[in-house]
C-alpha cells in the first residue's frame, strides 16, 4: 500500500471570493485495494488547526468507517456487473477548512451495471468538536429558514432543493462561475446534491445523469450576511 503524507497548507478554496491562504493541516492518504478492480483512498489526519486530539480521533474514526462503507459499495458494484467488466475508484479530491467546518471531499468514478457514474462524496466535520455533520443538518445550520424537498432516496447525504433555493443556487453560481450554462437550469432545479463548505459558501454537487453530464460541476449558494 502507498501512503502519501501531506502537510502545511490544505487545499485552497475553489472560489475567487474565498481565495485566501488556508489554515494548516497534516494528513495521510493511503491507497487501498479491497478488490481487484476497486481502489479506495483512505484519509487520516495528524493535526488540524483548531482541533484537539479528541476531535481528531472522532474524525479519523469516522473516515475509517467511511472507507469501510465505500468498500461495501464497491463489493455491490462488482455484484451488479454480473461478470462483466466493472470498476470502482475513490480518490481524495480536496480538504477544506472554514471557520466552523472541516470538509473532506472525495471524487468517485464507477462502472457497475455497464454505465459510468461520476460523483463526489463529502464528509463534513464540526469545529472544534470533530463531530460529523450530516448533509441535512449542515444545510439547516447555514440556511435555517429554507426548505428542502422530501427525498425518497435511502442516501441521507443527498438533499433536494425547493424552487426558491434552486433559484438561489442558479443566481449565485451565475455570478461566480465563468462557464455557467443556462441549458442546465431544468437539471439543477430537479437534481439531488451532495454538499460541503468552502469558506462561507455552501457548495453543491449534483448527481450524475448521462444526458446532462455537461452540467455536472460544483455550484454554490452564498449565505446572507
For 100-128, write each residue's pLDDT tens digit: 999 999 999 999 988 889 999 999 999 99
| Per-residue pLDDT tens digits for 207-220 | 998 888 899 999 99
With cut-offs at 50, 70 and 90, classify the pLDDT of residue 8. Answer: very low
Say yes or no: 2 and 76 in one domain. Answer: yes
Prior bond of 163 cis (ω within 30°): no
Say yes or no: 191 and 89 in one domain. Answer: no
SS3 220: strand
Say yes or no: 77 and 154 in one domain. Answer: no
The Cα–Cα gap between 199 and 97 comes to: 7
Query: What pLDDT, on a 0 to 100 scale, did the predictor assign at position 154?
Result: 66
Say yes or no: 194 and 124 in one domain. Answer: no
Query: What pLDDT, on a 0 to 100 scale, did the predictor assign at position 2?
Result: 55
Query: What pLDDT, on a 0 to 100 scale, did the predictor assign at position 4?
Result: 58
Query: What pLDDT, on a 0 to 100 scale, did the predictor assign at position 12?
Result: 41
61 or 225: whose pLDDT is higher?
61
Q: Indicate whether 169 pLDDT > 80.
A: yes
Say yes or no: 160 and 188 in one domain. Answer: yes
CATH code of the domain covering residue 6: 3.30.565.40
Say yes or no: 124 and 217 in one domain. Answer: no
| Domain total in the chain | 2
Say yes or no: 5 and 91 in one domain. Answer: yes
The Cα–Cα gap between 80 and 83 comes to: 8
CA dihedral 189, 190, 195, 199 (to 10 degrees): -10
Average pLDDT over residues 64-69: 96
Say yes or no: 44 and 139 in one domain. Answer: no
Query: What pLDDT, on a 0 to 100 scale, did the predictor assign at position 64?
Result: 97
Q: Indicate whether 15 pLDDT > 70.
A: no
Do residues 180 and 174 make contact, with C-beta atoms less than 8 angstroms apart?
Answer: yes
Query: What pLDDT, on a 0 to 100 scale, did the predictor assign at position 6?
Result: 58
Examine the fold and report which residue of 85, 115, 133 is the final residue of a domain before the chain moves on. Answer: 133
Say yes or no: 138 and 122 in one domain. Answer: no
User: Average pLDDT over the chain, rounded to whole?
Assistant: 88
Examine the fold and report which residue of 101, 118, 133 is the final residue of a domain before the chain moves on. Answer: 133
Per cent of the chain over pLDDT 90 is 69
Helical spans, DSSP H, in 160-217:
163-176, 185-190
Say yes or no: 153 and 73 in one domain. Answer: no
Average pLDDT over residues 76-87: 90
CA dihedral 149, 221, 131, 8 (to 10 degrees): 150
In terms of Cβ atoms closer than 10 Å to its own Cβ (0-12, 13-18, 19+), residue 219 is buried
Query: What pLDDT, on a 0 to 100 scale, did the predictor assign at position 87?
Result: 95
Examine the fold and report which residue of 133, 155, 190 is the final residue of a domain before the chain moves on. Answer: 133
Say which range, 36-45, 60-69, 152-161, 180-189, has the weakest mean pLDDT: 152-161
Q: Indicate whether 21 pLDDT > 50.
A: no
Kindly report the pTM of this predicted structure.
0.89
Structural domain of 99? 1-133
SS3 149: coil
Amino acid at each position: 500500500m502507498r501512503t502519501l503524507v501531506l502537510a502545511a497548507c490544505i487545499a485552497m478554496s475553489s472560489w475567487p471570493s474565498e481565495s485566501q491562504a488556508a489554515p494548516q493541516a497534516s494528513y495521510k492518504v493511503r491507497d487501498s485495494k479491497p478488490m481487484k478492480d476497486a481502489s479506495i483512498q483512505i484519509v487520516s489526519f495528524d493535526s488540524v488547526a483548531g482541533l484537539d486530539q479528541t476531535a481528531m480521533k472522532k474524525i479519523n474514526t469516522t473516515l475509517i468507517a467511511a472507507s469501510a462503507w465505500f468498500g461495501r459499495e464497491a463489493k455491490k458494484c462488482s455484484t451488479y456487473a454480473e461478470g462483466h467488466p466493472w470498476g470502482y475508484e475513490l480518490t481524495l479530491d480536496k480538504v477544506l477548512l472554514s471557520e466552523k467546518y472541516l470538509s473532506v471531499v472525495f471524487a468517485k468514478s464507477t462502472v457497475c451495471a455497464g454505465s459510468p457514474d461520476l460523483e463526489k462524496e463529502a464528509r463534513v466535520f464540526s469545529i472544534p468538536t470533530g463531530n460529523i455533520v450530516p448533509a441535512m443538518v449542515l444545510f439547516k445550520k447555514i440556511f435555517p429558514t429554507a426548505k428542502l424537498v422530501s427525498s425518497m432516496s435511502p442516501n441521507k447525504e443527498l438533499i433536494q432543493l425547493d424552487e426558491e433555493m434552486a433559484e438561489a443556487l442558479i443566481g449565485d453560481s451565475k455570478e461566480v462561475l465563468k462557464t455557467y450554462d443556462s441549458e442546465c437550469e431544468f437539471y439543477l432545479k430537479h437534481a439531488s446534491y451532495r454538499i460541503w463548505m468552502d469558506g462561507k459558501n455552501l457548495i453543491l454537487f449534483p448527481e450524475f445523469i448521462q444526458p446532462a453530464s455537461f452540467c455536472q460541476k460544483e455550484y454554490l449558494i452564498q449565505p446572507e450576511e
